[in-house]
Amino acid sequence: MKNVIVVGGGLAGLRTAMALRTQGYQGELTLVGAEHHRPYDRPPLTKAVLAGESDDTTLPADWERLRCGLRLGQRARALRFHDGRPGGVLETTAGPLDFDGLVIATGATPIRLPGDGPQHVVRTLEDARGLRASLRPGARVLIVGAGWIGAEVATAAAEKGCRVTVLEAAATPLATVLGPELGVLTVGWYAEAGVELRLGAEVASVDHGGVTLTDGRSVPADVVVAGVGARPEVDWLAGSGLDVQRGVVVDSALRTTRAEAVAVGDCAAWWSERYGRRLLVEHWETADKAPEAAAAALLGRPAAYDPPLYFWSEQFGRTVQYAGHHSAADQMVFRCAPDSSCWTALWVNGNRLEAVLAVDRPRDLVQGRRLIAESAELDIRLAADPQVPLRDVVLGRPPRGGRARGGPQDPSAPRTSLIAVPDLPLA
């Protein structure tokens, strides 16, 4: 392999280019990016950039040592593989490029709401800068969607003195990701920040001067922000011969159906042996860590990417962190009262820890994430005690300075049954 093209100028594309070099690839390397900026970090866009604390989130890279050509402001248009031999041609807005190795890292595109009125999304640096200019004191800011992005934008807008309203079609914030039992616990955060939250409010169209709901009511606004999700940027792969569904279908090593092509980041629907299903995860951690496996696979080496999932959000003065996947859980245990300033929820299947959600309890997240990777089984009674570190509640493992935990779960131990455990977004 002598000529590798990385399609996508975000975190996943840059990390894969770096991984190829550190793993010994010496051939030609080119990164093609639709934006005119060098690869930059996206999580700060809804945090520091909107808040006006930063205007440059460029990712550090030694481009001279990386020996990677940059073709910025060039969008991928189509892909053709050679018949009977490796490689192919990438069609871009600046013309065709030949390759014999390909990394697909084109990310995702925000979903826009119907209607002919102006609306903001937050995906690019220009998106964040444009929205920031509209966040003036007293401005009526209407955010559609009480998910991660919506809550973070609401936080920034409220701090700038805007009159903020959030519309959410579901009965609670984060109902799809965390379930209504936990989503309802975040409702009070909006009121504390002076943000009006309207639940069960579905938008029919964005109009000039506000939105119209499906029940016919109008909600006036000076600024409308759509925070209703994103779709993988894969339309340009139509006719390529690759298996493309919600994202580019890849195996656990991020390989496509062509050996000379891998896909990574928000556009990759990868197979997880850990969870026994295909995952499409649009979070920073996957874009940052999966490229090591993708680079190894492209170079023909054994590889797999299958860690416990992880993501985080900063909203309304809180750090919210999640690790694992709770679809297999049959019970939930709280550490601290969920109406306290900081708390942790554990999802457990029998005694095995499946997932953890920590609100301003970073130690619980770090230790819980490690226990999930180990498929650890917990003493549920002790796990519910916030004073006992999670690392010390593992069955069969001696706590620091104590005897090993053992025996089956005590039937009298506190537990909260889950009515339903919704999935994270999957392919």
pLDDT digit string, tens, across residues 148-166: 999 999 999 999 999 999 9
Q: Check whether residue 224 and residue 358 sit in a common domain.
A: no
What is the pLDDT, as a whole number, of residue 402?
Answer: 54
Residues in the chain, pLDDT under 70: 399-427
The token pair that represents 110 in the structure block: 């925000």
The verdict on 325 and 408 lying in the same domain is yes
Mean pLDDT estimate for the chain:
92
Same domain, 103 and 194: no
- Beta-bridge partner residues of 5: 30, 102
- Give the amino acid at 60: P
- How high is the pLDDT of residue 126? 96
Residue type (1 letter), 178 = L
Residue 356 falls inside a structural domain: yes
pLDDT at 167: 98
End-to-end CA distance of the chain: 30
DSSP output for 138-202:
T-EEEEE--SHHHHHHHHHHHHTT-EEEEEESSSSTTHHHH-HHHHGGGHHHHHHTT-EEEES--
Same domain, 173 and 238: no
Show the domain range for 350.
317-417
Q: Is beta strand 218-220 parallel, antiparallel or unpaired with respect to 210-213?
A: antiparallel
Residues 287 and 361 in one domain: no
3-class SS of residue 26: coil
Residue where one domain finishes, among candidates 298, 329, 347: 298
Cβ neighbourhood burial of 205 (10 Å; 0-12, 13-18, 19+): middle
Angle among Cα 81, 86, 87 to the nearest 5 degrees reads 50
Compute the distance between CA of residue 172 and CA of residue 193 in angstroms, rounded to an integer.
Answer: 17
Single-letter residue type at 198: R
pTM, two decimal places: 0.91
Q: What is the pLDDT of residue 160?
A: 97
Strand order through the sheet with 223-226: 196-199, 163-168, 140-144, 223-226
Q: What is the CATH number of the domain that holds 165?
A: 3.50.50.60
**Domain CATH code at residue 323:** 3.30.390.30
**Domain contains 312:** no
Q: How far are the Cα atoms of 74, 275, 290, 299, 376 from residue 23, in angstroms, in the given order?
A: 27, 28, 14, 9, 33
Q: Which of 244, 259, 233 has its CA nearest to residue 102?
A: 259
- Contact, 177 vs 424, CB < 8 A? yes
Are the C-beta atoms of 356 and 335 separated by less than 8 Å?
no
